[in-house]
Amino acid sequence: MGRKPEDYAQLLASALCKLHAAECRGASPFMSDDSVRIISQTIAVAMDDARKVHIEEELAAMRERRERIHLHS
Taking the chain (73 residues) in runs of 10, the rounded mean pLDDT of each run is 71 78 68 76 80 89 91 79
pLDDT at 27: 52
User: What's the pTM value of the predicted model, to 2 decimals?
Assistant: 0.54
pLDDT at 64: 94
pLDDT at 1: 46
Q: Where are the domains of the chain?
A: 5-72
pLDDT at 30: 66
pLDDT at 59: 94
Q: Which of 38, 6, 36 is nearest to 20 (CA)?
A: 36
